[in-house]
Structure 1
Amino acid sequence: MKIEYPTPQRCDCVETLHGDQVDDPYRWMEDPDAAETKEYVDLQNKITMPYLENCCVKKKFHEKLVDLFDFPKQGCPFKRGEKFYYNYNSGLQNQYVLYQQDSPESPGEVFLDPNTLSEDGTVSVGCKSFSEDGKIMAYTISVSGSDWKTVKFMKTDTKEQLKDVLEHVKFSCLSWTHDNKGLFYNKYPKAATSDLGTETNSNIHQKLYYHRLGTSQSDDVLVLELPDEPQWMPGCEVSDCGKVLLLSISNGCEPVNKYWVHDLPDQGLPHQFNFTKIADNFEAEYDYIANNGRVFYLKTNLKADRYKLISIDLDNPSQENWKDIIPEKESVLDWIACVRSNLLVACYTEDCVNKLYIHQLESGALVQAVDLPPGSIVGYSGRVQDSFIYFKFMSFINPGVIYSMDLSKGDDNLTAQVFKETPIKGLVSSDYVTKQIFFTSKDGTKVPMFVTHQKDLVLDGTNPTLMYGYGGFNISLSPSYSSSRMIFIKFLGGVFCEVNMRGGGEYGNDWHHAGSLANKQNVFDDFISAGEELIKLKYTSPSKLAIEGGSNGGLLVAACANQRPDLFGAVICHVGVLDMYRFQKFTIGHAWMTEFGNPEKEDEWKWVKSYSPLHNIPDTGTYPATLLLTGDHDDRVVPLHSLKFIATLQHKLGASNPNPLLIRVDTKSGHGAGKPTAKRLIETADCYAFIAAQLGAEWHQ
């Protein structure tokens, strides 16, 4: 069926970029609130939504997804003050509900239910931070998926909402002083629009403030501003002992930060803040773990690409006096937490699966390894004052098991006990198999991927296959459960593949840097090689292979579709970074220059010029069926990326291409966080219906 695409106005916008003439005919789409942009969005949705609705498996997939997604989902219990809390969703609730209980074994009662904040579930609760005595909870609220947050406060005994409200908050810390009288947080200058989430102006001049309960936000104490460095972001936390303020200054998304400290009085704030600069450069990352008096323990990648634990004496902080407590290992130290004052819980990534170990704090000596099957730790609770921990395990075919460990009885033979399992009706894990496959990329690098499918799958090259990747920002992909992927596998005879490409953090900073900046092409080569390997092993064939990614992963799939359109049958691109010439000009895009480079510098522009999805769409040939997805309130990767890309794609290839080239723009929706369950399920069914239609996947009951 031939699709009549919109024909938006092409303006005469041309600029010279490092000597090149660059056409930008859809520059006007950068204004999301303009009438012309909104009209264009409506025209696209009027094509896309009926197309998706008419895909033959749409209704069946959505019905089955609603059925199989309807199972209880619970987070790890955590203690604050004298009470325990946990996040819980009964199955299809739009937002998780926070419950309060006297103990992890006692019945819980609703403490904060975000589902009551809006009829359609588009108001969500994000970060929660409790005062040291546990009597006050600060929490953030977001509307329509925006990164902008409002901070509110409530009493934990009566659930009374306090009058305090903090606005203009984004990418913020929330850290209480131990006198329970207030907290540190981050604020940006007041935005120019009342509809927060649709603006595109750059987020700069973030400042650090202290808010004292019972006072107006206008009276908050300015702790730190950096007027000469508008893109720097200062966050902080108060040490476990409450005596030291730990300041971390970041500049972009590279895992490096400046690290400053300041002693705090027992009550109130210092008369002025004169920080001691423990590390005053952007050479490494420092993350506070615990302290024993003036000896502080930090996780760092200083001369350790896979991270290590060090100690620093604040009374003698020169770097030559720093000590290694847990040295760097072959596997990557993902995170580490102190519990029972003297034990460390360390989570490592070993060949893309998580391993858990218990160490002594002061010596770093290994106490024991925690026995777990291959998978991921997706939740953890346990603090320095606790004598217990909870952690949640998940895999591609296991929706989640919460384990508990009692650490109060000594260090001998610590065992993890099952606290709560998550059964799924109709799912028999033994019917499926996950394999880890190592393949060789274009330059000879060995790269892993996970492949999940039914145990009796026939390898004849005809299986519909979905390949997913991210490959950036030092973010590691690890096994996780997905109801929609299991439906794809079980009812559409599908194969799901997750690729652990360079650019991620699976093997440390070296692995990350091998896929960033001048090396970004390695990420695309890895993903393309993974597809070729699946075809070689007869899992699938090009017409049966779909690729999916979001944000940086959206950049990935769009770039790969441009470079190898012959290799893929369908492309699902969520909220992609697609205009690599101008990404740094909008909202928080400037922070990504540490990953992609700065297009305003000629040498670095040449990196992005070679792969920028918007600027490398082929002029001729057959392009794989493509579905772009974005949200009108995405103020992380603003919608202009997707709008300009689809307009260019349809202009160049729409008339001749036999495959659909579509975009789905959701309203009251952002980058993904906080999206209500109902919206997620409809969007997911649309994506898989599109995939099934393009790959010729038939429904098998």
Structure 2
Amino acid sequence: MSRTLASLLALTLGSLPVINHAMDTSTVNTDDPYLWLEDIEGEKALDWARAQNEKSLAELEARPEFQPLFEKNLAVYDSQDRYPSPSIRGEHIYNFWRDAEHERGLWRRTTFDEYRKAEPAWEILIDLDALAEAEGENWVWAGSSCLQPGYERCLVSLSRGGADASVTREFDLPSKTFVDDGFQLPEAKGFASFMDRDTVMVSTDFGPGSMTESGYPRIAKLWRRGTPLEQAEVIHEGQASDIGVWAYQVHTPERVYPMVQVAPTFFSQKTYLFGDDGLKAIPIPADANIETIFRNQLLVSLKSDWTRDGKTWSQGALVSIDLDDLLAGEGTVQPVVLPDARSAIDGVARIRDRVLVNRMTDVRSRLTEHRLVDGQWKERDVDAPTMGQINIVSTSDDSNHWFFSYTDFLTPTSLFEAGTAEAPVRLKELPAFFNADPFEVSQHFTRSADGTRVPYFMVARKDLDLNASNPTLIWAYGGFEVSQTPNYSATIGMDWLEQGGVYVVANIRGGGEYGPAWHQAAQRENRQKSYDDFYAVAEDLIARKVTSPAHLGIRGGSGGGLLVGMLFTQRPELFNAVVCQVPLLDMWRFDKLLAGASWVEEYGDPDNPDDWAWLQNYSPYHNLDADKDYPRVFFTTSTRDDRVHPAHARKMVAKMNDMGLPNLYYENIEGGHGGAANNRQSARVQALIYTYLLHELR
């Protein structure tokens, strides 16, 4: 797995111009005078970033809105009233927790009985603040992987400053100490998983030539205790052009499945079962996803049609087949969930006796349980709310115990415990950080340029005056089959809704709201469909007199940063504020920067002249025009983001500066792809963003 020189006139839908999105590609200049800004931690580049920060922060933090917003945000992020998110491991509930006293955080655990209490007693496993201070490192928690079923040993990952790359260390849970001379991996974008107590499956940076062009491991090895990493035994070696190679285990009560997965592209993979006789390729479509294994049934979600034994299973279906039969060239495919035009599968998990499926219908969740009875799948609904977003939070491989959450735009997230009673029990819930009573959520549908029906959610005051002057913010993503669903956000409520703003989430093509076809419709040369969907939402809001261009802002991050970058360069007259976070913007060099090579299947290959002929139309960096009146864009990024290179935002701002185009820029010198490494940084970034939006759109 994300924008003035002149005031804009409020336009009605009828007066919006017809835009011809084609351009004369022969005039694009790919020479780049700002390449020096790609030196991530170079002194010159960092001095430039600090100078931009100083100018922007001096303006934004001096505005009267900033400090109250920051203080409210920090109080929420540090609040002790948040419930601790559970992770089931054996007989314990694990949790990672940050608050005002523990800025970097605590890794801790408790029993199920304790967790059900309002104030559980926690056993502290790692105090990350103390560890960082003792070692003089800016550690950020990056997760853990533990040996099942006893969970006495874990591989703990720690990131410097929030980067994707991390170091890995073996940790002994009974003694709560790192293991001297245990399994330890140096900093890399790698992954390690126990095969048994003395053997680890590892994909990491083994030295020159061991990483792919995308910056991920291309070799998986077996590493035995007491031997140097250099002597680890190769399991599989991929190609430099692959996205990456990963080795891991799928644990079930009946059997353990060592697996190796090779990803030739972002949306294709080849998976192998690893055993004493080597690797056996699992013969499923390259773009299908293995969701889980249940009683030797391999559950697969289909991204394209799969024809087997004379029967075709449709794109978007969830099906199963006995794994051993499949490897032997036999077996019968069984349907688990079949697709329809308004629905999509949003998650699959397993517990001891059932498979759980989370799906959406018109972007609203529905949760079902599936039992295997006499070789066929039987479905029943889980008693859960259905008007917002459900997430399967944690499951147990060894029992029927599991947790899920429910939220919507105005309902604080609730945690439900399931598997211990006839119906799920609401166990915990977030406090209401803002008063939702004056607001309501509505879902609307509009038509894109090609007639496609596009949904969007709107959150606004119940007594909203349709006077075309309401400050309105649209959020969207539109890529990688990532869905944008209803979600409670204290900062949106406090910093935007309570300040008189209208909040909109646009479910544009490129996402996964209606399954793989919704995503594939806007890949590569078809990306304009995402932009057209967004324009249709914006124009519908204007036609309904919710807002007007003078009061309309847009926000997106990562691939959504590319989205809003293109929106303001294509249609600058339509928006008066743009928040562009950790963005992709230079589509000529995106595949040369950090993890960018892994996204060629989504966007196209700029080194292929046929791809570049249309890809350059979707490169905001190459579409800037000094003679256009753009909204004043606020760019944010992070120096330690090792997924989307900070040079995308840096170079865009440098170019705009030289063109005399106004903008604001904030680069967090740490923070990773999320843009912040701790609660204080998160609170600050959000306060900066909403201070900017309130000033531009009121």
Residues 76 and 40 (structure 1), Cα distance of their counterparts in 2 relative to 1, 3 Å cut? closer
Contact map agreement 1:76 1:392 (CA 8 A) in 2: no
> Residue 124 of structure 1 contacts residue 143 of structure 1 at CA under 8 Å; is this kept in 2?
yes
Q: 1:435 to 1:462 in 2, by over 3 A?
A: same
CA-to-aligned-CA distance 1:74-126 (integer Å, 9 cap, x gap):
34434323333234445785345332113243532222333334369952112
Structure 2: which amino acid aligns with 1:289? T
How far the C-alpha of 1:257 sits from its partner, in A, is 1.4
Q: Is the 8 A contact 1:205 1:227 kept in 2?
A: no
CA gap 1:423/1:46 in 2 versus in 1, 3 angstroms: closer
Q: 1:248 aligns with which of 261, 265, 268?
A: 261
The correspondence for 1:346, drawn from 357, 370, 386, is 357
Q: Does 1:399 align with 2:412?
A: yes
2: CA distance, partners of 1:440 / 1:121:
52
Structure-1 residue corresponding to 2:289: 286
Aligned partner of 1:588 in structure 2 is: 595
Using the alignment, how far apart are the partners of 1:191 and 1:61 within structure 2? Answer: 48
Matches within 5 A, 1:272-671: 274-279=278-283, 282=286, 284-292=287-295, 294-303=296-305, 304-317=314-327, 321-330=331-340, 331-340=343-352, 342-361=353-372, 362-406=375-419, 414-425=422-433, 427-654=434-661, 660-671=662-673
Look up the match of 1:689. Answer: 691
CA distance in 2, matches of 1:523, 1:535: 19
Greater relative CO (CA pairs within 8 A, separation 6+):
2
More deviation in 564-573 or 113-122? 113-122
What is the aligned partner in structure 2 of residue 97 from structure 1? 106
Instruction: Say which is worse superposed, 216-225 or 127-136, in terms of deviation.
Output: 216-225
8 Å CA contact retained: 1:92, 1:678: no
CA distance in 2, matches of 1:383, 1:308: 21
Residue 123 of structure 1 pairs with residue 139 of structure 2 = yes
Q: Check if 1:210 corresponds to 2:222.
A: yes
Preserved CA contact (<8 Å) 1:251 1:591: no
The answer to whether the 8 A contact 1:122-1:676 is kept is no
Residue type of the alignment partner of 1:677: N
Query: What CA distance in whole angstroms lies between the structure 1 residues aligned with 2:247 and 2:528?
Result: 33
Indicate which of 124, 148, 155 corresponds to 1:110: 124
Instruction: Name the CA distance, whole Å, in 1 between partners of 2:212 and 2:650.
Output: 14
TM-score between the two structures when normalised by the length of structure 1: 0.87
Give aligned pairs, total.
652
Q: Residue 306 of structure 1 aligns to which amino acid in structure 2?
A: G
Residue 197 of structure 2 corresponds to residue 180 of structure 1: yes
Q: Distance in 2 between matches of 1:671 and 1:252?
A: 21
User: In structure 2, do the counterparts of structure 1 residues 537 and 18 end up closer, same or farther at CA, with 3 Å as the change threshold?
Assistant: closer
Secondary structure of 2:621's partner?
A: helix
1:53 Cα deviation from its structure 2 partner:
1.6
Amino acid at match of 1:157: P
SS at match of 1:105: helix
What secondary structure, in the 3-state scheme, does the structure 1 residue paired with 2:533 have? helix
Pairwise CA distance, 1:182: 3.0
Shift of 1:145: 1.6
Matched, 1:53 2:55: no
Deviation at 1:139, TM superposition (A): 1.6
Does 368-377 or 517-526 show the bigger shift?
368-377
Identify which of 39, 43, 46 aligns with 2:47.
Answer: 39
Cα deviation, residue 501, structure 1: 0.7
Cα distance 1:488–1:35, how it changes in 2: closer, same or farther (>3 A)?
closer
Q: 1:216 to 1:476 in 2, by over 3 A?
A: same
Change (3 A) 1:220 1:125: farther
Cα distance, 1:428–1:33 mapped onto 2, change above 3 Å: closer
Contact 1:45/1:665 (8 A) holds in 2 = yes
Are residues 1:134 and 2:151 paired? Answer: yes
For structure 1, which segment, 229-238 or 481-490, has the greater mean C-alpha deviation from structure 2 after superposition?
229-238
Deviation at residue 18 of structure 1 after TM alignment:
9.2
Q: Distance in 1 between matches of 2:138 and 2:464?
A: 40
In percent, how many aligned pairs have the same letter? Answer: 26
Q: How far apart in 1 are the matches of 2:47 and 2:189? A: 32
Aligned partners of 1:95 and 1:674 also within 8 Å: no
RMSD: 2.8
CA distance 1:286–1:130, shift in 2 (3 Å) = same
Matched to 1:387, the amino acid is: N
Q: Bigger CA drift: 125-134 or 586-595?
A: 125-134
Inter-partner Cα distance in structure 1 for 2:405 and 2:30: 50
Q: Distance in 2 between matches of 1:200 and 1:290?
A: 29
The residue identity in structure 2 corresponding to 1:66 is L
CA contact under 8 A between 1:73 and 1:89: conserved in structure 2? no
The unaligned stretches of length 5 or more in structure 1 are 4-16, 193-198, 264-269, 655-659, 697-701
Q: Residue deviations 1:179-201, cap 9 Å, x none?
A: 43333232024489xxxxxx998
Of residues 156, 166, 172, the one that matches 2:184 is 166
What CA distance in whole angstroms lies between the structure 2 residues aligned with 1:160 and 1:21?
Answer: 56
Match of 2:311 in 1: none
The amino acid that maps onto 2:278 is N
Which amino acid in structure 2 is aligned with residue 126 of structure 1? A
Instruction: Say which SS state the counterpart of residue 401 (structure 1) adopts.
Output: strand
Pairs within 5 Å for 1:227-266: 227=239, 229-240=241-252, 241-254=254-267, 256-263=268-275
> C-alpha distance in 2, partners of 1:551/1:507?
21
Contact 2:251 2:397 in 1 (8 A): no
Mapped contact 2:165–2:190 kept (Cα < 8 A): no
Report deviation, 1:57. 1.0
Q: TM-score, normalised by structure 2?
A: 0.87
Partner AA of 2:406 in structure 1: F
Q: Secondary structure at the match of 1:478?
A: coil
Residue 95 (structure 2) pairs with residue 82 (structure 1) = no
CA 1:169–1:252: 2 relative to 1, 3 Å:
farther
- Paired with 1:485 and 1:662, the residues of 2 have a C-alpha distance of 21
Matched AA of 1:652: M
TM-superposed deviation, 1:221: 2.9
Q: Secondary structure at the match of 1:128?
A: strand
**Alpha carbons of structure 1 residues 182 and 485: separation in structure 2 relative to 1, 3 Å:** same
Which letter maps to 1:687?
I
Contact preservation (8 Å) 1:73, 1:88: no
The whole-number CA distance in structure 1 between the counterparts of 2:122 and 2:216 is: 42
